[in-house]
Amino acid sequence: MKAAFLNKIDRSWTLFLDRDGVINHETEGDYVTNWSEFHFYDGVKDAMTFFATIFNRIILVTNQRGVSKGLMDEADLKEIHLNMLGALESHGGRIDRIYYCTDLDDISHNRKPNPGMGLQAKKDFPEIDFNKAIMIGNTMGDMQFGKNIGTYTIFISSNRPAPVMPNSLVDAVYPTLISVAKDIRLHTTQR
């Protein structure tokens, strides 16, 4: 299902992204605990380079309970993110801020699908308008997070079955991040 709202995107829009399963390969039932386990999906660097030209803000929001489970520490997580940012930036992409939640408890305000990380981004970047924002993720929790803060939602079916559509939590489904970028490019160049 393609997204008609993509033709509205301009430099005032914000992109929220999940990490595992969207930007990098997710290890099913396990965690990416160090940089050597982090592998970008094909096309992600190109997608992020394009997104840097079209979105005002690009925000990463990721649940990382592996830290609280003792599978890694916060320094490991920060090293992964530093290396990821370096790889994206050297390719012309960017992420303006990374928000992560290491809490184990699902009721944590900051743990997706709860809105805490999105609200923190809005506090840090007051120009963010949730009505002009997209959340891209690969779980229904990501989709619920997007709806909880009032964004459009795109489900990436990279490693999980796509939800049955229509779905009140999902505005569009794409197989990969690069396929989203190609469709946005198509919509924005046809204006």
Active site residues per annotation: 18, 20
Q: How far is CA 125 from CA 77, 121, 156, 178, 179, in A?
A: 23, 6, 26, 26, 28
CA 134 to chain centre: 9
**Residue corresponding to tokens 């990416």:** 32
- C-alpha–C-alpha distance, residues 127 and 7, integer Å: 21
CB-count exposure of residue 57 (10 Å: 0-12, 13-18, 19+) = buried
